[in-house]
Copies of this chain bind each other. A is one copy, B any other.
Amino acid sequence: MGIEIERKFLIIGDAWRTAVTRSIRMAQAYLGGDRCSTRVRIEGESAKLNIKSLSTGIERLEFEYDIPVADANVLMAELAGKRVEKIRHLVALDDVLFEIDEFLSDNQGLIVAEVELESAEAAYPKPAWLGREVSLERRYLNLALAEQAFAMWPDREAILMELQSC
């Protein structure tokens, strides 16, 4: 159990790719929940069950447990909603880890960075490729992207322009 303090940003251009140290393919889907989101995720060769409080803010209560990949496959196929697929790229800058999610499938084109912080006010590096903060926009939650994919956003074209603007 922990408190997750996370800020989320759009990513501009491709310059960040040279700084990537590791990339992991991920597929995830949600089981629903009244006051929390329950997520099943396959990441590389392992799988996890994750429970997070439902709030769009920067701080969220979080629980995570390893589960067998075989279980994750059945949970996703039989009991979960739509899948979100992405490649998570890791970029470390000044001891701060950026998790850059390059979405695939129905969310292709969308690239966002998440940075986990000690406190909501903690300083973090601001490389040129770090774009607008979207921490408080619900539609950027992976849970929301499972329900309403980027392909269906009315302002998708404008956002794609913004992502290529450097």
Q: Could you tell me which A residues sit within 8 Å of B by CB distance? A: 1, 31-36, 38, 49, 51, 53, 61, 63, 65, 67-68, 70-71, 74-75, 78-81
B residues near A71, Cβ cutoff 8 Å: 1, 63
CB distance from A147 to the nearest CB of B (A): 11
CB distance from A83 to the nearest CB of B (A): 14
Main SS of the interface on chain A? mixed
Identity of the chain B residue whose Cβ is nearest the Cβ of A1 in the assembled complex: B71
Taken together, the copies of this chain in the complex come to 2
CB distance from A19 to the nearest CB of B (A): 35
Contacts A31-B36, A32-B33, A38-B38 given: A79-B51 contact, CB under 8 Å? Answer: yes
Q: Check A1–B38 contact: CB distance below 8 A.
A: no
Contacts A1-B70, A1-B74 given: A35-B79 contact, CB under 8 Å? Answer: yes
Q: Check B70–A67 contact: CB distance below 8 A.
A: no
CB distance from A148 to the nearest CB of B (A): 16
Identity of the chain B residue whose Cβ is nearest the Cβ of A32 in the assembled complex: B34
Q: Check B49–A61 contact: CB distance below 8 A.
A: no
